[in-house]
């Protein structure tokens, strides 16, 4: 009897150890969710990389791109593309910011393309001072909603909204173009908003 008790004790210990070893495995790392941001946020993120490319870099154009999970309905986008120019270097370079996720999404964070030449005399591609950008894309969307956008989205909620920011050399103003459906020339509605004052300019 004594010998059988001695055998049972280590067997019980092994059972307890096996029970302890059955702890849950570490959870697999979940994929990051899509991050949507306003145009000014994306531009500020890109600015650091642009200034490393050229110390005098200034933005020329900023535009969003509609993608799955990012329809632009609140003035935010998961993908922004910006063009910067260097007057001293007479060169231009595109940059992107992505907050998208998924197998077909562009890489998250900041990326850039190939440099090109820049002509300071070209009035259609004039760089602008960031101090002019006082109204962000979400506020521009609110203004556009008051001038036809709300009615359009109520009738067609699947319509994508894109944003374009550029300098109007003729008027000497920085402007948001809030574009409902398609590209600027083929949009169902395009509303222009002053990016410094937030005032409605016109719609097409």
Is there a domain that residue 1 lies in? no
Is there a domain that residue 174 lies in? yes
Residue of 189, 141, 196 lying closest to 163 (CA atoms)? 141
Is there a domain that residue 134 lies in? yes
Is there a domain that residue 65 lies in? yes
Is there a domain that residue 96 lies in? yes
Is there a domain that residue 103 lies in? yes
Question: Residue 166 and residue 65: Cα distance in Å, rounded?
Answer: 15
- 163: number of CA atoms within 13 Å, CB side? 37
H helices of 54-148, where? 137-144
Segment 22-39 mean pLDDT: 70
Question: Residue 204 and residue 181: Cα distance in Å, rounded?
Answer: 12
Residue 56 has pLDDT above 70, yes or no: yes
3-state class of 31 per DSSP? coil
Segment 123-135 mean pLDDT: 96
pLDDT in tens, 150-193: 999 999 999 999 999 999 999 999 999 999 997 766 789 999 99
- Overall domain count for the chain: 1
Residue of 97, 83, 84, 85 lying closest to 38 (CA atoms)? 97
Is there a domain that residue 34 lies in? no
| pLDDT cut 70: percent of the chain above it | 84
Residue 22 has pLDDT above 50, yes or no: no
Question: Residue 52 and residue 68: Cα distance in Å, rounded?
Answer: 31
Is there a domain that residue 23 lies in? no
Question: Residue 130 and residue 59: Cα distance in Å, rounded?
Answer: 8
Average pLDDT, the chain: 88
Structural domain that includes position 100: 39-203
Residue 1 has pLDDT above 50, yes or no: no
pLDDT in tens, 63-104: 999 998 999 999 999 999 999 999 999 999 999 999 998 888
């Amino acid at each position: 009897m004594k010998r059988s008790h001695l055998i049972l004790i280590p067997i019980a210990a092994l059972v307890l150890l096996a029970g302890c070893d059955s702890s849950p495995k570490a959870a697999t790392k979940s994929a990051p969710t899509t991050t949507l941001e306003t145009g000014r946020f994306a531009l500020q993120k890109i600015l650091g990389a642009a200034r490393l490319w050229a110390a005098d870099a200034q933005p020329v154009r900023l535009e969003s791109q509609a993608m799955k999970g990012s329809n632009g309905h609140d003035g935010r986008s998961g993908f922004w593309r910006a063009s910067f120019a260097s007057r001293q270097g007479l060169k231009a370079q595109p940059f992107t910011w992505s907050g998208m996720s998924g197998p077909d999404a562009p890489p998250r964070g900041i990326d850039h393309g190939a440099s090109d030449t820049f002509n300071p005399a070209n009035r259609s591609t004039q760089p602008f001072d960031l101090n002019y950008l006082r109204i962000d894309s979400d506020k521009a969307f609110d203004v556009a909603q008051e001038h036809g956008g709300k009615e359009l989205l109520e009738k067609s909620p699947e319509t994508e909204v894109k944003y374009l920011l550029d300098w109007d050399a003729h008027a000497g103003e920085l402007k948001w173009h809030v574009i409902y459906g398609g590209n600027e020339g083929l949009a169902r509605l395009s509303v222009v908003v002053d990016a410094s004052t937030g005032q409605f300019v016109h719609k097409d």
